[in-house]
Structure 1
């Protein structure tokens, strides 16, 4: 329960208790003035006792280890509340309204007021325990949110340096070979760097923008291959397109170039399918499996953790081999 809502709930509960006691007292005594005065005096003392105990005595003395002072002040509070309540009830109910002798200065009157005030005192302890528990839950939630945000930032940052180092190595190799493709690779890298700077820090980006980034990545990787890699890209996205975390899908594609091709063979192939229908996002990557392929899982372990943080219990990721092909699929349910 959020803190701004909690006081309203408490006020509502006290109003409910007051009305119930008022109706009960009036029905019992068949007297509106008596019922109103008696109920009002009782509720005022109950509220004062509960909150003085919960918000003053317990936090300032008991929880700070000042037990002697807490005990002395608690006894003084109880005696003061009982005595003051008895005097008010005597003045208003016994003297002015001329009610029953019960409200005089007698043992029965004092015992009743003492028991009810003591119950309110104990309820103050329960209220403080409940408030402390809610505060603990809120602190844990804040810490969990901060931890999730930090972990997401770390996982996202792990993607960028890894990709950049690979690309810079490719540019270096092309530059050493004095390849005419060097300028084109630098231009593609510039587009990708712009995506890193402007879009990657965001929590969500439009799906078409992420697909543009993936296409740039594919073209960049194709340039450095000896044999072109036929990549079939199928996109079917219903409008409005969803927003997804930036660089969420690139580990699938990166995994193809790391583990799904044999650079010495011309018969490599890959397929990428993405669809969004009825709030269901589906992404599939398929590539050949060679005897030289090792660790096809690759960098998808970090992706699994990131998905658990961003889409808890709303995603399914599958990685498997079938008939000489490696498949990596992801399905996300968008609310």
Structure 2
């Protein structure tokens, strides 16, 4: 009788364990599907206004400056290919992302000749892998803020990538059109930051630092450290 009870309990436990494993696998699949859906949705929010603006600019340039229009279309095509084919990957090389950012800023400069920028890369970052288009919300926001800068200062946007032992440091310094208001707003409510923080919480939970620093010259520096 004892042997029979032990056998019955063992058999029941085995069935229960298998059922539990199957349920957990199903839950994980649903969670991963939901996560992937959310990441896709967040990535799709990036750059629709920019792409529309550049297409309109290309149409206008085609009537005035064919060479400049051709260069714009070539760079825009490169950006679109990156978005269509590279951004579907879970990770991309940082060197490819920097090339994408450079092309993006070059296009913005074609649209607004007053825009000045520089990109500085420190240490070996070529083979670091990151999620695609991760920095674009911050860079797009910096471009919009710099467009409101009326003092004509050079290097309105300064972008840095630095490989450190504890991770990757991304910095972006730009003009703040309304620094007093921004300083007193919760960071998550700032334009671009709420969207980016959602994605960082999904991809780097507890392993990132995102902060703003302001100075007396209406300049803002955004630091993003990935650990």
TM normalised by structure 2 equals: 0.82
Alpha-carbon distance, 1:266 to partner: 2.0
* Residue of structure 2 equivalent to 1:311: 204
Q: Deviations over 1:155-176 (max 9, x none)?
A: 1111143432232233244346
Please list, as runs of the form range in 1=range in 2, the aligned pairs for 1:273-284 lying within 5 A after superposition.
273-284=160-171
**In structure 2, how many angstroms separate the alpha carbons of the residues matched to 1:322 and 1:255?**
18
More strand by share: 2
Alpha-carbon distance, 1:220 to partner: 0.7
Aligned match of 2:139 in 242, 253, 257?
253
Please list, as runs of the form range in 1=range in 2, the aligned pairs for 1:1-335 lying within 5 A after superposition.
43=3, 45-51=4-10, 54=12, 132-175=19-62, 180-227=67-114, 229-238=115-124, 241-262=127-148, 265-267=151-153, 269-291=156-178, 297-323=190-216, 324-333=218-227
* Residue of structure 1 equivalent to 2:185: none
Greater radius of gyration (CA): 1
**In structure 2, how many angstroms separate the alpha carbons of the residues matched to 1:232 and 1:187?**
21
Q: Is the 8 A contact 1:262 1:292 kept in 2?
A: no
Deviates more, 1:283-292 or 1:243-252: 283-292
Say how many residue pairs are matched: 219
Distance 1:314 1:167, change over 3 A: same
* Residue of structure 2 equivalent to 1:20: none
Structure 2: state its 5+ residue gaps: 183-188
Distance 1:201 1:261, change over 3 A: same
Structure 1: state its 5+ residue gaps: 1-40, 55-123
**In structure 1, how many angstroms separate the alpha carbons of the residues matched to 2:81 and 2:113?**
27
Alpha-carbon distance, 1:51 to partner: 4.7
Determine helix, strand or coil for the equivalent of 2:87.
Answer: coil
Deviates more, 1:134-143 or 1:239-248: 134-143
Higher RCO, 1 vs 2 (CA within 8 Å, ≥6 residues apart): 2
Q: Is the 8 A contact 1:226 1:263 kept in 2?
A: no
Note the aligned Cα RMSD (angstroms): 2.9
* Residue of structure 2 equivalent to 1:92: none
Distance 1:209 1:234, change over 3 A: same
* Residue of structure 2 equivalent to 1:111: none
Q: Is the 8 A contact 1:238 1:277 kept in 2?
A: no
Q: Deviations over 1:68-94 (max 9, x none)?
A: xxxxxxxxxxxxxxxxxxxxxxxxxxx
Deviates more, 1:182-191 or 1:230-239: 230-239
Distance 1:290 1:199, change over 3 A: same
More helix by share: 1
Distance 1:289 1:279, change over 3 A: same
**In structure 2, how many angstroms separate the alpha carbons of the residues matched to 1:293 and 1:329?**
19
Q: Is the 8 A contact 2:141 2:192 kept in 1?
A: yes
Determine helix, strand or coil for the equivalent of 1:232.
Answer: strand
Distance 1:285 1:223, change over 3 A: same
